[in-house]
């Protein structure tokens, strides 16, 4: 989206914080992770950022540092979770939007004849909310997963070849 016409994710985040502000008897703990499915692999977008920013991409022996293997599981609260994924905390709307934009900047994109910045992956931005109600002394947990599916464009219209063609085939 644009500032004048924000997309679904910014509007959902804004509404979530608006609803949280109305519940003054509650405290909230917000955390998030951001992954993409690229060429049939699950990729942690925050891991990429953390390791790029620290400059840590090679071991002492010069070998590449591989990201940890991500695995989709169900936790003890019956919530779908991803093991080994980097989880970030967010206290405000601005914090969460910053993390969304940061992760989005790491997504795989490529130019086609139809779109200069065509996303080449499916992305999942998950927001976990832990609510403590000070009146009832109870914890409640919730999760909102916002999914952006990569566009599926016909090969003959995009002119896709090589890696771009491979990406297009794995999108579906």
Tell me: the pLDDT tens digits for 86-125? Answer: 999 999 999 999 999 999 988 877 544 444 445 678 999 9
Tell me: the pLDDT tens digits for 48-74? Answer: 787 765 555 566 777 767 788 999 999
pTM: 0.78
Q: How many Å apart are CA 150 and CA 127, to the nearest integer?
A: 20
Exposure string of 111-136, with b = 16+ CB inside 10 Å and e = fewer, is ebeeeeebbbbbbbbbbbbebeeeee
Domains of the chain, each with CATH number or no CATH: 8-171 (3.40.850.10)
Q: Give pLDDT, residue 103.
A: 93
Q: Give pLDDT, residue 119.
A: 67
Tell me: the pLDDT tens digits for 7-41? Answer: 899 999 999 999 999 999 999 999 999 999 988 88
Q: Say if CB 120 and CB 109 are below 8 A apart.
A: yes
Q: How many Å apart are CA 79 and CA 150, to the nearest integer?
A: 25
**131 is written with which tokens?**
């609510």
Residue 30: Cβ-neighbour burial (10 angstroms; 0-12, 13-18, 19+): buried
DSSP designation for 113: S
């Amino acid at each position: 989206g644009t500032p004048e016409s924000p997309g679904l994710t910014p509007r959902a985040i804004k509404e979530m914080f608006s609803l949280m502000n109305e519940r003054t008897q509650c405290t909230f703990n917000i955390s998030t992770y951001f992954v993409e499915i690229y060429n049939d692999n699950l990729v942690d977008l925050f891991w990429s950022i953390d390791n790029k920013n620290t400059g840590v991409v090679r071991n002492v022996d010069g070998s590449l540092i591989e990201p940890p293997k991500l695995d989709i599981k169900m936790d003890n609260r019956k919530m779908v979770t991803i093991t080994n994924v980097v989880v970030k905390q967010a206290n405000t709307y601005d914090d969460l939007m910053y993390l969304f934009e940061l992760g989005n900047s790491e997504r795989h994109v490529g130019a086609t004849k139809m779109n200069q910045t065509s996303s080449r992956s499916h992305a999942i931005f998950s927001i976990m909310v832990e609510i403590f109600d000070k009146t009832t002394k109870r914890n409640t947990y919730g999760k909102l997963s916002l999914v952006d599916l990569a566009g599926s464009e016909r090969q003959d219209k995009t002119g896709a070849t090589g890696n771009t063609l491979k990406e297009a085939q794995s999108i579906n």
